[in-house]
Amino acid sequence: MLDNIEDEARRLIAAAGTQSLTLRLLGGLAVRVHAPSAAHRTLQRDYADIDLATPARHGRKVETWLEAEGYTPDPSFNLLNGASRLLFFDETRARQIDIFVGEFAMCHRVALENRLDHDPLTLPLAELLLTKLQIVRMNEKDIRDICALLLDHPLAAGDQETINLPLISELCARDWGWWKTISLSLAKVRAFCDRAELPPNGVATIRERLEQLEQALAATPKSTRWKMRAAIGERVRWHEEAEEVERG
């Protein structure tokens, strides 16, 4: 195990690959890997844990392999949740390893199973952004991550260092709950930009991309299911109540 958290995340992903296991980074570390702007004094943050994703078919093998790597499992959590999520710990460095199996599920669900081969190290940028935009009770570190991603990556069709705009807009056109949460999240990011000490051209870039995303969400034709759910609106909760999972 390596002391530097980013180095250790990269080591784990490479070592898993030698065992024919797929691991991909998500969370704030993944943002830092892709977005140099995450190092800006206004957007920088601490990184305490390593968040990873693996396909469902690899979940059991990853569990066994991580323990062999010297990580301590959370037996009760993994027994109850191992089909979708696993927890491990680096006791020496007080570091938590969180493994999402097959999908990312918190306030909303992000399907991962068929998209983990789009980037050799992290989730694709669209899914990486979605894991941040899906947070209903968003804190400032998540907003900083969103700003860094938007500042350094254009929205376009495709996944080559671009944020896949059709993927996000089509998801929101099928699911009113996703649309609602992302709309709220974008407003929070815009409010942060009002007070953020970023270069004016940086704020302009973020605002431009926020507007581009909002326009795409508005323009994409909505499904019948979306329209039926929209009629109910906020009278019924549209998201799951997600909590940070820590060692019990």
Residue partners of 248: CB distance under 8 A and separation at least 6: 74, 76, 77
CB of 134 closer than 8 Å to CB of 107 = yes
The type of residue at 150 is L
Digit-by-digit pLDDT tens for the chain (248 residues) are 899 999 999 999 999 999 999 999 999 999 999 999 999 999 999 999 999 999 999 999 999 999 999 999 999 999 999 999 999 999 999 999 999 999 999 999 999 989 999 999 999 999 999 999 999 999 999 999 999 999 999 999 999 899 999 999 999 999 999 999 999 999 999 999 988 888 889 999 999 999 999 999 999 999 999 999 999 999 999 999 876 666 55
CB of 247 closer than 8 Å to CB of 87 = yes
* Of 11, 9, 15, nearest in space to 31 by CA: 9
CB of 19 closer than 8 Å to CB of 66 = no
Instruction: Supply the DSSP string of 59-71, one letter for each residue.
Output: HHHHHHHHHHTTP
The type of residue at 106 is M
Tell me the whole-structure pTM to 2 decimals: 0.94
